[in-house]
Structure 1
Amino acid sequence: MQNIRTYGAMLIAIFLSSCSSYQQIPYYQDLSQSGEARQPVSNESPLTINPSDLLAINVTSKNPETATIFNYNLNTVNGSYAVTPDNPVIGYRVDEEGNIHLPLIGKIKVKGLTTTQLRDNMTKSLTAFYKDPVVNIRIINFKVAIYGDVLKPDLYTLENERTTVTQALSLAGDLNITAMRKNVLLVRTENGERKMVRLDLTSKNIFNSPYFYLKNNDEIYVQPDRTKFATVDRGYRTASLVLSGLSIIAIVLSNIYR
C-alpha cells in the first residue's frame, strides 16, 4: 500500500510538472481566447539608412540609355542575391558620415532617411537631367542574426523592410520546445550605443514593443531552459558511464586472456 501511494504521488508530481512546463510554451497567453481583438499600431518605425548599408539603386526614364549609369547591378534590385562573376553584389555603400556619391548628383546625405524619402529626393534632383525619372531603392544587406535555441540558427538576409521579431524567428524555424519564450534577447547597435532588450513572446505586449520591428544588424538570442541542459548533461553522463564500463570490461578481458 505504501508503494502504491508513493507511485501515485510521483505520477501526480510528474503530471503537474508537465502542465507547468506547457504553460510556458504558447505565445500571447494574455490575449483573449474568444472574439476578435484589435489594437492600433503605434510602434511601426520605418527602416532608416545608416552607415555601412549597401543600397541598390535603379533609375529608369524616357531616355533609358543615359539613366543606366546609376544602375550598378539590376539583378540585385530584382532580388537575385547569388554572388557570381556575372552577378557581383555591387551597390552604393553608405560611408561613415552617412553619405553616398552618385553620378551627376554628387555627394548626397542619406543617413536617417527611409528608402522612400531618398527615392523622392533623388527623383526631384534627376528631373534636371531626365524626363520622368523613376527611381527604385533597396537596402540589400539588411540582415539579422538569429541563434540559440531555435531550429535553424543563421544569419538571415531580409527583403521586407518591415520585418518583425516573430517573422524573423519563423525564418529560423521557430523556437525549440525547450526555449525560454519569456526571455528572448534582442541586441541592437545604433548611434554608437549597444542596446540589450528582453522580450516576452508569451505576452501580447510584444506587439507594442519599440523593438518589435527589426533594424539592420539586429541580433536575436533565444536562451534554452534548464530542461535542455539537464537532458544534454544526462546524455553526457550516461555516455561517460557506458564508456567507463566498456573500458573496465576490456581491461578485465585482456587480463583473463593474457
Structure 2
Amino acid sequence: MKFNQVFFIISFALFLSSCIGVKDLKYLQPSENLQYNQYGLVPVIYENYRVKKDDILAMTLITSDKNASRFLSEENTTAFKGGANNGDGRLRTSGLIVDANGYISIYGLGEFYVYGLTLHEITDLVQARLNEVLYNDGKAEVRMNIGAIKYYMVGEIASPGEKMELSNRVDLLQAIAKSGDLTRYADRRHIRIIREYPEGKKNIVLDITRDDILNSPYFYLQSGDQIIIDPLKEKISGLGGGTTIGDVTQFLSVGIQAITTYLFFKTL
C-alpha cells in the first residue's frame, strides 16, 4: 500500500473520530420509552421535596381577621389586601431562611425545626401554632412554599455559577436556557446532578438528548442542586477542537506540513 493511501486512511479515521454527530447535540429526541397519561399528555412528576439548610421558604397567610397581621413582621410582609366583598385578605412573608441548625423563625409564632421535613409537614406545624395563638380554628390558613430555588451550574455551559430563581419550580432545560445554553463540547447524554438529602448526597445522571427525560422526577431541580456538565471526549482528546470541519482541516494541514518537511529532509 502506497504512503499516500495510508495517509488518507489515517486522516479519514481521525476526521471521523473528531467530529460530533447531530444526535449528540439535539435535545429531546424521540424515544419509545416516553410515557403518556390517559389524556395523551406527559405527566409531571416531582420528587417529594424535603427542606434543607439554607433553603428560602415563603409563608402565605390567608385570613379574614386583620388582627392576624400582628403575627407577621412588617419588614417581611406585604400590605394587607382586603377583599371587595368578604374582607378576606392575604399576607405573605418571604425570606424565611432555614438556619444552620435547621430552624426557621416566624415573628409572633416562634421557631420551627424544619430540616428534612416536607412542605406539607411544615405547613401543619405552623398552622397548629397559629391556631393556638388565635384561640380559634379557621381564622387563618397558612400555606408554606419554596420562596426561591438556588442552584449551581458548572462545566460546559455559557454562563456557569450560582443561580437564583424566585419561583418554586424550575426544570433542567429552563436552567440551561437561563445560563446561556450548553457549549458545543457539552456531553448532553451525561448531565450530572448532585442532590443533597438529609441522609447524604446523591449523584444523578440524566440524558437530555432523549425526550423520556420528561418522565424523570429529577427533571425538576431542587434548591441546592449542583449541575455538572462534563465535556465530550472529542474536546479532551484535542482532535479537531471538537466539532467543526474547519478545525479538523486545520489539524490535517499541520500533519501534512510535518510529513512534507520530514520527507524533504529525508531526501537530502
Q: Scaled by the length of structure 1, what TM-score is found? A: 0.64
Is residue 196 of structure 1 aligned with residue 203 of structure 2?
yes
Cα distance, 1:47–1:158 mapped onto 2, change above 3 Å: farther
Cα distance in 1 for partners of 2:199, 2:26 equals 36
Task: Give 2:149's match in structure 1, choosing from 142, 157, 161.
Answer: 142
Cα distance in 1 for partners of 2:211, 2:111 equals 44
Which residue identity lines up with residue 198 of structure 1 in the other structure? V
Shift of residue 68, structure 1, vs aligned partner: 3.9
Task: Give 2:98's match in structure 1, choosing from 88, 94, 97.
Answer: 94
Task: Give 1:55's match in structure 2, choosing from 54, 57, 61.
Answer: 57
More strand by share: 2
Task: Give 1:38's match in structure 2, choosing from 28, 33, 36.
Answer: 36
Cα distance in 2 for partners of 1:155, 1:20 equals 29
Cα distance in 2 for partners of 1:158, 1:46 equals 19
Provide the residue aligned with 2:173 in structure 1: 166
Cα distance in 2 for partners of 1:187, 1:37 equals 25
Cα distance in 2 for partners of 1:74, 1:167 equals 29
Provide the residue aligned with 2:255 in structure 1: none
Superposed counterparts of 1:56-135, under 5 Å = 56-59=58-61, 61-71=63-73, 72-74=75-77, 91-96=95-100, 98-119=102-123, 121-128=125-132, 129=134, 132-135=139-142
Cα distance in 1 for partners of 2:47, 2:35 equals 22
Provide the residue aligned with 1:218 in structure 2: 225
Shift of residue 25, structure 1, vs aligned partner: 1.0
Cα distance in 2 for partners of 1:27, 1:16 equals 22
Cα distance in 2 for partners of 1:160, 1:206 equals 22
Which residue identity lines up with residue 171 of structure 2 in the other structure? T
Provide the residue aligned with 1:27 in structure 2: 27
Gaps of 5+ in 2: 79-92, 252-268
Secondary structure of 1:140's match?
Answer: strand
Percent identity, aligned pairs only, is 25
Gaps of 5+ in 1: 76-88, 239-258
Q: Scaled by the length of structure 2, what TM-score is found? A: 0.62
Cα distance in 2 for partners of 1:91, 1:37 equals 37
Cα distance in 2 for partners of 1:194, 1:112 equals 13
Which residue identity lines up with residue 162 of structure 2 in the other structure? L
Q: Higher relative contact order at CA 8 Å, sep ≥6: structure 1 or structure 2?
A: 2
Cα distance in 2 for partners of 1:187, 1:219 equals 5
Cα distance in 2 for partners of 1:119, 1:15 equals 59
Shift of residue 214, structure 1, vs aligned partner: 1.6
